Copies of this chain bind each other. A is one copy, B any other.
Amino acid sequence: MQIETPYLLFLGDVGDQLAAKTAHGIVDWRPEWCIGQLRLEGCKADCNIADMTPAEAAAKGVRTMIVGVVNAGGVLPEHWITEIVAAMDAGMDVATGLHRRLRDVPEIADASERNGCKLHDVRFSDQIFQTGKGDKRSGMRLLTVGTDCSVGKKYTSLALEKEMRRRGMNADFCATGQTGVFISGRGVSIDAVVADFISGAAEWLSPDNDPDHWDVIEGQGSLFHPSFAGVTLGLLHGSQPDAFVVCHEPTRTNMRGVKHSLPSIADVIERVNLEASLTNPDAQCIGLAVNTVALDDAAASACLEEIGTQHGLPCVDPIRTGCGPIIDELQRRFPG
């Protein structure tokens, strides 16, 4: 899946900023791709970029309108369909992460065919993958893993890529979830792939590359999450990471959506090392990324200090402290 940039962000008429979380993520990480936003009457979300119509956006060179909002129930309201058709009539592709496939809406399918525009339903995967082979590929790979779902793996991966690029390293973020796909313009929603092809999709995502090139792969789920561990394991095997970073949210007590308690960071490091060895026996934990948003400055600082000391690893909050110490460690361990 390759989404053409730059983007017009469609915010619809959603009732709050949270419903536009995906659009905000794109603006945060790829401001240079976000030419404008399209808001309908009553919209309570705002990405603080120029408002424009589909025709105005197309005139400014926009290639794709991103439906970067979720609405209640994931349905596609009739008046959104009008705007999606208008975007294609203006010559743009359209990409969404909605639960309904765009092509299942006859007016949208017609507009796509009439204008030769692409429809990207990033929540669905129509890509044909091979099953994973487990062969070693050239180039280097870093994978973020977690004690749980939704602990900051995507944010950490993007922050790591940013710091690596700042230092002139050859690094690319590899998206495995829908927001990540919009942010990078490519990738795969790994949780939407048919089960037999999880590791194969991960292998497709980070193919052979230059010896000094790093793929920074967005992790999913947790090996200790009873809903999603299969996805996590297939992604780990296909990614065959040389390095991994454990992401953690220190105030969480239960795994998201289930009754299980959180594993310790040490448990995660040990299990990832054990399972990673099937496709890369040399996988190493190079750092910890702790989401301290729930803590005040003093508590956050103490928390990072304590966890880092406990594990003998660089421990950062990508938002509060940046990822410098982890990339220092990466460069120390992989001087190549």
Contacts and interface: CB of A to CB of B under 8 A. Distances in A.
In the complex, the count of this chain's copies comes to 2
B227 A131 contact: yes
Interface residues of A, number: 35
Contact of A231 (B195, B228, B279): B195
B229 A237 contact: yes
Contacts of A52: none
Contacts of A134: 226-227, 258-260
A135 interface: yes
Interface in A54-100: none
Contacts of A194: 191-195
Interface in A178-199: 190-196, 198-199
A278 B229 contact: yes
A229 B224 contact: no
Interface string A218-252: 00000010111111111101100000000000000
A257 interface: yes
A133 interface: yes
A230 B238 CA distance: 10
A313 B134 CA distance: 32
A318 interface: no
A270 to B, nearest CB: 10
27 contacts: A131-B227, A131-B228, A132-B227, A132-B228, A133-B258, A133-B259, A134-B226, A134-B227, A134-B259, A134-B260, A135-B259, A191-B196, A192-B194, A192-B195, A194-B194, A194-B195, A195-B195, A195-B198, A196-B227, A196-B228, A199-B227, A199-B230, A226-B237, A226-B278, A230-B230, A230-B233, A233-B233
Interface of A: 131-135, 190-196, 198-200, 224, 226-235, 237-238, 257-260, 275, 278-279
